[in-house]
């Protein structure tokens, strides 16, 4: 009987969900439920009639719109308004910024995988590819990171000039203003390649093309401002920076104390010019020490009401030449031994005319919205690209070093402990690059995915940290000794910079990804909030009722689907075909439904307090993030025509991410404040328990082997990074040593065999090679030369730098 009741309830819920909780849904649900109740309870005729009447009343109240709004929706709307958390103006503008893209599908519980796979494949134009192959390659060849970071603490003058002359500062500027007008994909590819060579150069190039004067002018500048500045920015005649963060306002940018007062003052020989007297103190501003053009955010006040009736006009943006009297720039911060130009800027009552305000007087008070809309796009490119470039460098060098470097006569990459680290390096890099590529596709489609930008910024920088940490472990002493032979240590030092900027990662994970996504990406929550804030009572009730009805249907549907998919492991769900990918698509659909359900229950149970439950929000954000990363990984595999040699990377990254989803869900359920709600959720999400395991040791072995073996898979994994051909370069020598090692191992085996048999007696390796060459039947002269070169390359790769004390002192003085 209990099974009959359960089936009846499930059938009723499915009917309600299918008919969107309309009167027909309620009627059909009652038709299913009433007989079940009658059979189970064996009710008398009189009692059964009473039950029928009560159910009919419920159906009428819930199914007839007029009655439902009067008796149900109106009451819920009043409660909803009371529990709705207070949202500041800056928070609201952040929520309104950007667009909803694939994150909307993931929040729906029913992602359309066919739609995902129809999104364009990443593809560069001929001009973009040529720039990457020529100018970007030339720039990378000019970069000596040890010289930059230790000797100069700056880029060499010729590098600065090359960057300016070749248009690196104008990648996002249209051709009509002399810019390159590159796609987001090309912009990302350029930064990725440079970052695989020098973080200092990458930051120098990416900042003018990210959130800053050029992008703000493109979207909001007046025609005169665009004409005045964009061409000069594209040609490198202006070096821009943008100043937002100050000592007392970091993540809480709405609290900036910097102010501008509207007034009249003399300016450039003219009297009584209308403008703003600005006072500011900013820090952590990249390119500020060398900037000629300062973008500035401040709060504008008009106490004398010179431009309108309001006195507090809100956050406003200005573009100020740094030679304006009173502007202070030039001093530098020194972030973790990185040499990119970064420092404070300040000014005390600096007068600027109204024409310096970005967008003119029409954009007064709209500064925060402008910043958030640009950040939604800019944050999707720069940091994910630079993090991925560093990860590609780590993956390629660890694979080569793991094969070349031997201990106990065995390549260190074949030790299981090292294999474990190298598997993480390969799998994380594969997924990071997939996320980078898919997100740039969204941007080139015209999207400004604010939630996704937070996901890729957080997870690419965090995974880059994990990759670099593992790479340092693989390299051991080679990784910790600084000098021209070290290609990892600066990345290891500087990775926290990317973790910190453009939204600190702790904040991004705990407050932004799910906190913003729950409102922006959910199909109904934003509509409910907008209705609740609508001053028109009738319209508010009508719209809230429609959103509430859809939300109820949505939640019921996902509850049933989560349970059914949990019981079957997602089997049977219609998804794109593919021997190696079908089960992944099905599992992601299962967890998408479970995520949508968990999000709804969390918002229902916790209400406004969810905003303060940052650990719960962070774990729900982890689920959403892994769903996105998995989506990008599957799309990458399909876009690249399902290469069989990439399967270890695909399987490792997908299995790792799916296991992380389980762990995140479990963390939510274990710590959910309502234990009853947690119990129900666990029954629906994990009806047969947690079944997915992390990647196996054998799979990790396959990934590690892939990194150590030259081939198409290794090249695809590290595609787009700079690979020097010069054997005097540390990375170039390592590449040459890998190929030489593989070529010479059969020859080395002959020499070793001769040594074991007593034919070769020399103790020194070079002497053994010479002795083997001089004896007939072991190796010939040409083979001996190969072995001698191999020894020289291996020695160069293994050796680390040392210095005279005065050399280090000279570097510190500089």
Residues with a catalytic annotation lie at: 502
> Counting Cβ atoms within 10 Å, is residue 628 exposed (0-12), middle (13-18) or buried (19+)?
buried
Using an 8 Å Cβ cutoff, are 772 and 778 in contact? yes
CB atoms within 10 A of CB 741: 21
How many degrees, rounded to 5, is the angle at CA 676 between CA 672 and CA 681? 70
Phi/psi at 277 (nearest 5 deg)?
Answer: -100, 110
Tokens for 660, please give them. Answer: 């992380």
Rounded to whole angstroms, the Cα distance separating 485 from 369 reads 46
> Counting Cβ atoms within 10 Å, is residue 198 exposed (0-12), middle (13-18) or buried (19+)?
buried
b/e map 378-387, b = 16+ CB within 10 Å? bbbbbbbbbb
Phi/psi at 188 (nearest 5 deg)?
Answer: -65, -40
- Angle, helices 781-798 vs 765-774, to 10°: value is 170
Of 94, 99, 93, the C-alpha closest to 442 is 99
3-class secondary structure per residue, 279-325:
EEEEEEEECHHHCCEEEEEEEEECCCCCCCCCCEEEEEEEEEECCCC
Rounded to whole angstroms, the Cα distance separating 595 from 522 reads 11
Task: Name every residue whose Cβ is closer than 8 Å to that of residue 3 and which is 6 or more positions away in sequence.
Answer: none
Rounded to whole angstroms, the Cα distance separating 410 from 400 reads 14
Phi/psi at 349 (nearest 5 deg)?
Answer: 55, 50
Phi/psi at 284 (nearest 5 deg)?
Answer: 65, 30
CA dihedral 369, 374, 377, 379 (to 10 degrees): -100
Rounded to whole angstroms, the Cα distance separating 374 from 41 reads 62
Residues forming a β-bridge with 350: 278
Residues forming a β-bridge with 298: 316
Tokens for 221, please give them. Answer: 């500048």
In sequence order, what DSSP letters do the residues of 639-669 get, joined into one string? HTT--GGGHHHHHHHHHHHHHHHHHHHHHHH
Rounded to whole angstroms, the Cα distance separating 482 from 454 reads 33
Q: How far is CA 469 from CA 391, 427, 475, 479, 494, in A?
A: 10, 14, 10, 10, 12
In sequence order, what DSSP letters do the residues of 229-290 get, joined into one string? HHHHHHTTSS-EEEE--BTTBSS-GGG---EEEEEEEEETTEEEEEEEEEEEEEEEEETGGG
Rounded to whole angstroms, the Cα distance separating 729 from 735 reads 10
CA dihedral 592, 598, 600, 606 (to 10 degrees): -150
């Amino acid at each position: 009987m209990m099974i009959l009741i359960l089936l009846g309830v499930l059938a009723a819920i499915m009917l309600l969900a299918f008919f969107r909780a309309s009167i027909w849904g309620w009627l059909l649900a009652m038709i299913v439920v009433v007989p079940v109740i009658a059979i189970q309870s064996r009710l008398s005729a009189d009692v059964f009639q009473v039950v029928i009447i009560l159910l009919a009343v419920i159906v009428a109240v819930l199914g007839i719109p007029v009655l439902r709004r009067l008796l149900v929706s109106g009451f819920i709307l009043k409660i909803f308004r009371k529990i709705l958390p207070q949202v500041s103006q800056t928070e609201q503008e952040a929520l309104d910024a950007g667009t909803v893209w694939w994150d909307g599908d993931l929040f729906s519980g029913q992602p359309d995988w066919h739609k995902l796979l129809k999104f364009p494949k990443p593809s560069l134009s001929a001009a973009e590819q040529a720039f990457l192959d020529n100018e970007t390659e030339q720039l990378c060849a000019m970069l000596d990171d040890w010289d930059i970071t230790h000797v100069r603490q700056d880029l060499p003058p010729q590098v600065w000039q090359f960057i300016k002359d070749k248009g690196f500062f104008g990648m996002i500027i249209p051709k009509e203003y002399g810019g390159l007008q590159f796609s987001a994909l090309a912009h990302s590819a350029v930064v990725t390649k440079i970052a695989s060579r020098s973080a200092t150069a990458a930051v120098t190039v990416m900042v003018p093309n990210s959130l800053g004067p050029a992008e703000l002018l493109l979207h909001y500048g007046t025609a005169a401002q665009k004409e005045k500045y964009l061409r000069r920015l594209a040609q490198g005649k202006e070096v821009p920076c943008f100043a937002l963060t100050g000592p007392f306002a970091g993540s809480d940018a709405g609290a900036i104390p910097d102010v501008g007062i509207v007034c009249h003052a003399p300016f450039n020989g003219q009297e009584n010019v209308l403008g703003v007297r600005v006072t500011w103190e900013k820090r952590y501003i990249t390119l500020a020490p060398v900037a000629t053009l300062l973008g500035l955010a401040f709060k504008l006040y008009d106490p004398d009401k010179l431009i309108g009736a309001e006195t507090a006009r809100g956050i406003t943006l200005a573009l100020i030449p740094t030679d304006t009297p009173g502007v202070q720039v030039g001093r530098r911060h020194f972030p973790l031994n990185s040499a990119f130009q970064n420092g404070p800027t300040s000014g005390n009552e600096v007068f600027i005319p109204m024409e310096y305000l970005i967008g003119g007087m029409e954009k007064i008070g709209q500064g925060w919205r402008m910043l958030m809309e640009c950040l939604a796009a800019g944050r999707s490119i720069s940091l994910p690209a630079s993090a991925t470039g560093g990860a590609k460098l780590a993956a390629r060098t660890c694979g080569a070093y793991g094969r070349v470097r031997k201990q106990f006569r065995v390549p260190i990459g074949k030790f299981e402990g090292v294999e474990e680290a190298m598997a993480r390096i390969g799998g994380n890099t594969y997924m990071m690059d997939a996320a980078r590529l898919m997100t740039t596709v969204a941007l080139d489609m015209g999207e400004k995915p604010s939630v996704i930008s937070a996901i890729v910024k957080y997870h690419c920088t965090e995974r880059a940290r994990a990759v670099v940490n593992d790479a340092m472990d693989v390299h051991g002493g080679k990784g910790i000794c600084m000098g021209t032979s070290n290609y990892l240590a600066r990345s290891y030092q500087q990775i926290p910079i990317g973790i910190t900027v453009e939204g600190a990662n702790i904040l991004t994970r705990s407050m932004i990804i799910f906190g913003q996504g729950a409102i922006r990406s959910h199909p109904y929550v934003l509509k409910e909030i907008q209705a609740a804030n609508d001053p028109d009572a009738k319209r508010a009730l009508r719209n809230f009722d429609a959103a509430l009805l859809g939300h109820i249907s949505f939640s019921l549907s996902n509850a049933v689907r989560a349970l059914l998919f949990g019981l079957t492991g997602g089997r049977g769900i219609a998804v794109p075909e593919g021997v190696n990918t079908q089960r992944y698509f099905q599992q992601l659909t299962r967890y998408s439904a479970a995520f949508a359900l968990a999000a709804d229950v969390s918002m229902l149970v916790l209400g406004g307090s969810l905003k303060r439950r940052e650990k719960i929000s962070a774990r729900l954000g982890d689920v959403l993030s892994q769903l996105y990363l998995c989506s990008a990984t599957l799309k990458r595999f399909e876009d690249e025509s399902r290469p069989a040699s990439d399967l270890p990377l695909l399987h490792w990254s997908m299995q790792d991410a799916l296991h992380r989803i389980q762990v995140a869900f479990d963390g939510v359920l274990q710590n959910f404040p309502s234990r009853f709600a947690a119990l129900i959720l666990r029954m629906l999400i994990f009806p047969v328990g947690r079944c997915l395991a992390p990647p196996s040791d054998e799979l990790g072995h396959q990934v590690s082997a892939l990194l150590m073996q030259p081939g198409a898979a290794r090249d695809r994994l590290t595609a787009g990074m700079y690979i020097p051909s010069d054997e005097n370069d540390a990375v170039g020598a390592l590449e040459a040593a890998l190929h030489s090692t593989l070529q010479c191992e059969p020859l080395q085996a002959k020499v070793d065999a001769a040594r074991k048999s007593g034919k070769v007696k020399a103790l020194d390796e070079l002497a053994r090679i010479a002795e083997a060459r001089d004896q007939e039947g072991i190796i010939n002269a040409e083979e001996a030369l190969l072995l001698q070169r191999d020894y020289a390359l291996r020695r160069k790769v293994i050796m680390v730098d040392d210095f005279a004390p005065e050399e280090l002192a000279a570097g510190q003085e500089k």
